[in-house]
Amino acid sequence: MEGCIFCKIVKGEIPSDKVYEDDQILVFRDIHPQAPVHYLVIPKKHITSISEVTDADLELVGHMINTAVRMAVAAGIADKGYRLVTNSGMEGGQVVDHMHWHILGGRQLSGELG
Ligand code: 5GP
Ligand code: ZN
């Protein structure tokens, strides 16, 4: 979508520190990490938020969650535990309006986002 920074990351117009990529999704490091491990999982196609997900996207969302779990294992944070979270809308704390799942771990998390 025009003007969307995560669409620009998908297209390579904005650089990102990629952790994983396939034809449907991209995983990259958050530019302002809130924890020792802070990755973002995004679909390559623009979906505004989890609230906009349709039945046709359920396989894609499942793939994002499954990949997030595999990334947590690969990052070495799965044994002690981690958080997988997606913010939706203004009061949900969503700043970038392209659905993304945060993977946070590597320290004791607490509070709202840790
Ligand atoms: P939200 O608040 O929308 O759930 O989270 C947006 C996240 O995207 C924030 O954690 C922010 O640090 C991250 N972010 C915003 N712009 C960029 C960028 O250009 N590159 C990367 N790697 N992360 C970004
Ligand atoms: Zn987008």
Place of tokens 């981690």: 82
Q: How far is the CA of 108 from the centre of ligand 2 (A)?
A: 31
Tell me, using a 6 A CB cutoff, whether residue 14 lines ligand 1: yes
The CA distance from 70 to 1, in Å, is 28
- pLDDT, residue 21, reads 98
Domain 5-105 CATH assignment equals 3.30.428.10: yes
**Mean pLDDT of each 10-residue bin along the chain, 114 residues long:** 96 98 98 98 98 98 98 98 97 97 96 68
Q: Whose CA is nearest to atom 17 of ligand 1?
A: 31
pLDDT at 42: 98
pLDDT of residue 111: 80
pLDDT of res. 113: 64
* 7, 32, 86: residue to mutate for ligand 1 pocket, most atoms within 8 A of CB: 32
What pLDDT does residue 4 have? 98
Please report the pLDDT score of residue 114 as a whole number. Answer: 58
Long-range contacts of 22-30 (CB under 8 A, 24+ apart): 24/60, 24/63, 25/60, 25/63, 25/64, 25/67, 27/67, 27/68, 27/71, 27/103, 30/102
Question: Which amino acid type is present at position 103?
Answer: I
Cα–Cα nearest to 86, from 68, 106, 71? 68
Q: Which ligand is nearest to the CA of 41?
A: 1
| Residues with catalytic function | 100
Is residue 67 lining ligand 1, measured as CB closer than 6 Å?
no
